[in-house]
Structure 1
């Protein structure tokens, strides 16, 4: 690990000012990802700004009926908060499907947004990785790529620059819920819809998100629409705990009085560089009753354009079947064991 300087400001403006004045500086809160990256010689910050003393550890109701999650609230406290479990159980379910209890006790909501990929080649500094070192190549394209992306890998050239996946479970649920990220920076405060927060690799795979230099995430806003009756988070992985998703599906449905689907939200994890949604696929469900054939059509639309690279080609069919399973569960109001399935249960 490289040497670094350290500071601990007491307010948001001071933190933003310090990060803006330093070169190669990083914010640190729980540190559950950043410290690993530093130990593996992937990240080399010259200065760390400890934000744990900032007043961002709150969960507040919004006047219009939504909820504001402070950036420094831990994942565990968020998942078990009474209002989150009551009004946004999809988010609680997704958080509890991720990491381990020990990590959830340390990891923060703001930090979760910034998780970096768990691609083997990104962590191995002896291999080529365009995300770690732009222009060096992508070892995963012709290497072992079982956990890698099948959607959103296109670049302006013929060869993808990066096929890494975004690892967060929380962010998949936030994408389904249309959350909004609040940030403060040198140019003031702004909001970023979660759909625009993370980005696809394109020709700049080193950029994970749309945050500008010096900006600090202060909170995450959840809209008033709760989706707290017909929802599920289905996570398929190699073991039942402490494993990243091969494929995950967050489904939130709103039914009308006749039992037909009035609105559908479907977000996928483990398949792309960011949580994946396709409004055209969701629209196929509007005004319809549950039907396995219809659910399969939705799955086909969601996976339109998917491409495997050898070891991960199985993910295409796995994702389609997972979508059908998750839609069945959400429509029935069944969320039990939504995170306990392994890939062999679906294929």
Structure 2
């Protein structure tokens, strides 16, 4: 196991910068997920750690060792790819053993490592099969097994679940998280899926346009996003944003909607963006009348698409609701759950904690 230190790293492809002064400290045994929209630089950063891309400037260290110019095979890392990259003419056992055989490890030792990894992943019964005889989930387990047998200092995952169907993705998320707890090895995982990031990571690194926007635990980023981008990106349903200003002790939107929040006196008249997560709306007689556009029941939850005046938003409630399209419901905001951002810069106005509505 080893820590990973990324210090002021820059990378350009030609004249186009893709990684811009990125610094991240990853502790020994930590599970860190790099997340962001397509083109944000997350896969490039992972490839830099793997040694598949060079660094223009900055320092990369694995453990105490600076590895800027170290070949990938000598970095003691193992990578799991999106497309599995299994050899079709080899059995599962041979695929898993390939890197050890190439290194000249004794046959008995290879077999021991393969069977130990297969037991961890519960694929012992698949060792004699070929990749074409496996399901997508089984192939992904084999790809992880090939990485495990190497006993690396760091595991790297490049969107490993993107080719799986939705139900299998959920299952494999749990299995990878359980694998991390069992192996206690440093893992760095890239995904564009913020649900994967929220459910699996010890810490999340949110990237945009090659820069780090915020680093923190999943719930810290969810509850205390530093800017509008992070607030809008994290969460299975997007945060609702209302534009307006702070006036006379409350938020007043551009079309007259009034919502409460406590703020410093120097914000009087300032243009702000008021944010509410879907699950922080509440049904209350003291709320503001909202017009229902669509109800989407899922059984355990109900998602409601509604409007306050011209402002559309999504709210989420536990249980089942009955409200036909066009009907009115009274909605409020759960106490302490409003988020307020500066309209010009997009930065959170209070630094770290939400305003208390």
| Structure-2-length-normalised TM-score | 0.25
The higher radius of gyration belongs to 2
| Structure-1-length-normalised TM-score | 0.25
